[in-house]
Amino acid sequence: MFMPPVFPAHWHVSQPVLIADTFSSLVWKASLPDGTPAIVKGLKPIIALTILTLIAITTPYGCSTQKND
Protein backbone atom coordinates (compact mmCIF):
# COMPACT_ATOMS: atom_id res chain seq x y z
CA MET A 1 0.00 0.00 0.00
CA PHE A 2 1.21 3.51 -0.78
CA MET A 3 1.64 6.23 1.80
CA PRO A 4 -0.56 9.28 1.16
CA PRO A 5 1.32 12.01 -0.67
CA VAL A 6 2.49 15.17 1.04
CA PHE A 7 0.65 17.98 -0.69
CA PRO A 8 1.92 21.57 -0.72
CA ALA A 9 0.50 23.35 2.34
CA HIS A 10 -1.08 26.12 0.25
CA TRP A 11 -3.35 23.53 -1.44
CA HIS A 12 -5.15 22.94 1.90
CA VAL A 13 -6.20 19.40 0.92
CA SER A 14 -6.97 16.65 3.40
CA GLN A 15 -8.20 13.07 3.60
CA PRO A 16 -6.37 11.67 0.54
CA VAL A 17 -7.65 8.28 -0.57
CA LEU A 18 -5.91 6.29 -3.30
CA ILE A 19 -8.46 5.57 -6.04
CA ALA A 20 -6.23 4.35 -8.89
CA ASP A 21 -2.78 2.85 -9.28
CA THR A 22 -1.76 2.80 -12.93
CA PHE A 23 1.53 1.91 -14.58
CA SER A 24 2.59 5.54 -14.68
CA SER A 25 0.75 7.30 -11.87
CA LEU A 26 -1.21 7.29 -8.65
CA VAL A 27 -4.59 9.03 -8.49
CA TRP A 28 -5.85 10.35 -5.16
CA LYS A 29 -9.24 11.74 -4.14
CA ALA A 30 -8.92 14.42 -1.48
CA SER A 31 -11.05 17.14 0.13
CA LEU A 32 -10.68 20.90 -0.01
CA PRO A 33 -11.37 22.98 3.13
CA ASP A 34 -14.99 23.61 2.09
CA GLY A 35 -15.59 19.88 1.54
CA THR A 36 -15.31 20.03 -2.24
CA PRO A 37 -13.69 16.88 -3.61
CA ALA A 38 -10.42 17.21 -5.50
CA ILE A 39 -8.55 14.74 -7.68
CA VAL A 40 -4.74 14.70 -7.71
CA LYS A 41 -2.76 12.66 -10.23
CA GLY A 42 0.91 12.19 -9.46
CA LEU A 43 3.41 10.58 -11.80
CA LYS A 44 5.44 7.76 -10.35
CA PRO A 45 9.11 8.77 -9.99
CA ILE A 46 10.48 6.58 -12.79
CA ILE A 47 7.89 7.89 -15.24
CA ALA A 48 8.49 11.51 -14.25
CA LEU A 49 12.24 11.01 -14.75
CA THR A 50 11.66 9.39 -18.15
CA ILE A 51 9.46 12.27 -19.30
CA LEU A 52 11.92 14.91 -18.08
CA THR A 53 14.76 13.08 -19.84
CA LEU A 54 12.77 12.91 -23.07
CA ILE A 55 12.01 16.62 -22.93
CA ALA A 56 15.67 17.41 -22.22
CA ILE A 57 16.96 15.50 -25.25
CA THR A 58 14.38 16.63 -27.79
CA THR A 59 14.38 19.71 -29.95
CA PRO A 60 13.79 23.21 -28.56
CA TYR A 61 10.13 22.70 -29.45
CA GLY A 62 9.49 20.31 -26.56
CA CYS A 63 8.58 16.73 -27.35
CA SER A 64 7.72 17.52 -30.95
CA THR A 65 10.31 16.77 -33.60
CA GLN A 66 8.76 19.22 -36.04
CA LYS A 67 8.18 22.93 -35.73
CA ASN A 68 4.54 23.93 -36.22
CA ASP A 69 4.38 26.93 -38.54
> Using one digit for the tens of pLDDT, what is the confidence trace for 1-56?
567 778 888 988 899 999 999 888 889 999 999 999 999 888 777 766 677 677 77
pLDDT at res. 25: 86
Is 64's pLDDT higher than 60? no
Which are the contacts of 47, defined by CB distance < 8 A and separation ≥ 6? 23, 24, 25
Sheet with 37-43: strands ordered across: 14-21, 25-31, 37-43
pTM of the entire structure? 0.59
Backbone torsions φ then ψ of 28, nearest 5 degrees: -120, 140
pLDDT at res. 34: 94
pLDDT at res. 21: 92
Q: Pick the closest to residue 50 from 63, 60, 66, 40 (CA basis).
A: 63
In sequence order, the β-bridge partners of residue 18 are 28
DSSP H helical ranges for 1-69: 45-57
